[in-house]
Structure 1
Amino acid sequence: MKNFEYTLDMWDVKGQIRAKRALEIAAAGGHNIIMIGAPGSGKSMLAKRLTGILPPMSESEIIETTKIYSIAGELSERVPIIINRPFRDPHHTSTTSSIIGGGRTPKPGEISLANNGVLFLDEFTEFDRVVIESLREPLEEKRISITRSLGKMEFPAKLIFIAACNPCV
């Protein structure tokens, strides 16, 4: 399967040799990364290009990712299947359940929607402490369990996590 949409490319980035190398290492090893730098220094620009240097998804990854998007109600006639690695970029005002998942009938959150791709939290220090703390276990276990009165759901969370923030002044 080929993607004919334009994807952001690392070749568009001029300079930033060390930052690009750090992202290449993170991509190659599936490592999480935090970028700290002044506003306008290119943290978000670089993060958005990480999926462009990851390998294409395998057939099983495409099926797994599409199932998650289907459960979440994120598929449409225009996008009936997910063939590109997801890049999720929730706002720092997002709730814990929107990031982790939940609801009366548990639905996948951003952490599962980023499965097989990238979860980018820009302005990381602005996220609620509970949201930040709730990321630890899913990032370690590569899955998220949500228990509600109607039952327990488990969703995958195999992703590369990128956080970006400005240094304290």
Structure 2
Amino acid sequence: MFEGFLSPVIIEQAPTHEQPETDFSSIRVQQQAKRALEIAAAGGHHTLLIGPPGYGKSMLASAFSSIMSDLAQEEALEVYSLYHLAREKQGMTLRPPYRQPHHSASAISFIGGGTYPKPGEISLAHRVILFLDELGEFSRKTLDMLRQPMESGEVTISRVKQTVSYPASFTLIAATNPCPCGYYGSHERYCTCSSKQVTNYQLKVSGPILERLDFVLSLQSS
């Protein structure tokens, strides 16, 4: 009875969250990376794209949603409920939305919490896509917050008066330059960074996070 009531609600309402502008099939470059992302979409694998500016990292990530399978009705309801708890507008839809928090986002907006705890970005990406662009610009503290949800599929927020847990089983797609200037290892432009700058930039992603990534793809010039 409940399922029969839910079906027309999901199908008839259009999604209100931003959808990717690029269709995955229209991308004609980075064929090896495309193949890896197709596998990632099928299996829900976490993926890191590394390459200089202009190599198509953001384009591939923004088109990733277009090859994701539709959500089941129960999953769509779960996603909608999290948006409702966070007081964010999101229509009922079977198509998976994606979240793209900025690297300057606060810890509370990223992980969730507040005086009256509510889901953060990683919970709003539950069963869908969490896209972290310019991964090297995120603070190491913020990135380390991903360790628990990437392992357990949920995030626990402890406060003085209460402890709450929200689901956070997402597919992580991250993109980063290899160094602060972006051109370390490039055959097209010289890198202006010192070796220490390159090392510090790359070490922002800790070992435990790298161990939870299924694919680390170095994009080449097309």
TM-score, scaled relative to structure 2: 0.71
Are residue 159 (structure 1) and residue 170 (structure 2) matched? yes
Q: Would the alpha carbon gap of residues 148 and 26 (structure 1) be closer, same or farther in structure 2, given more than 3 Å must change?
A: same
**Separation in 2, partners of 1:4, 1:134:** 32
2:124 is matched with which residue: 109, 113, 116?
Answer: 113
Structure 1 residues 3, 13: closer, same or farther in 2, change over 3 A?
Answer: farther
1:63 correspondence with 2:77: yes
Select the structure that is richer in strand: 1
Aligned residue in 1 for 2:207 = none
CA distance in 2, matches of 1:74, 1:4: 15
Q: Which moved more, 1:83-92 or 1:103-112?
A: 83-92
1:26 lines up with 2:37 in the alignment: no
Percent of aligned pairs sharing the same letter: 43
Which structure 1 segments of 5+ residues have no match?
A: none
| Alignment of 1:37 onto 2:48 | no
- Give me the whole-angstrom Cα distance separating, in 1, the residues matched to 2:13 and 2:128: 16
Cα shift at 1:150: 2.7
RMSD: 1.7
Alignment of 1:90-129 (within 5 A): 90-129=101-140
1:84 Cα deviation from its structure 2 partner = 2.3
Are positions 1:72 and 2:83 aligned together? no
What whole-Å deviation, never above 9, does each CA across 1:130-161 have from its counterpart, x for those lacking one? 10111111111000011112311111111100
Per the TM alignment, residue 82 of structure 1 is displaced from its structure 2 partner at its CA by: 4.2
Deviation, structure 1 residue 4: 6.4
Q: Partner letter of residue 124 of structure 2?
A: L
Return the TM-score normalized by structure 1. Answer: 0.92
Tell me if 1:17 matches 2:31. Answer: yes
Out of 17-26 and 146-155, give the one that drifted further: 146-155
Structure 1 CA distance, aligned partners of 2:128 and 2:100? 11
Q: Distance in 1 between matches of 2:154 and 2:33?
A: 28
- Counterpart in the other structure of 2:201: none
Shift of 1:164: 0.6
Question: Structure 1 CA distance, aligned partners of 2:13 and 2:31?
Answer: 28
State the one-letter code of the partner of 2:136.
T
Residue-pair matches, total: 166
Q: Distance in 2 between matches of 1:65 and 1:100?
A: 16
Q: Secondary structure at the match of 2:145?
A: helix
CA contact (8 A) 1:65 1:82 kept: no
Amino acid at match of 1:11: S
Mark the CA change 1:80 to 1:118 in structure 2 (over 3 Å): closer, same or farther: closer
Q: Which runs of 5+ in 2 are unaligned?
A: 1-10, 185-222
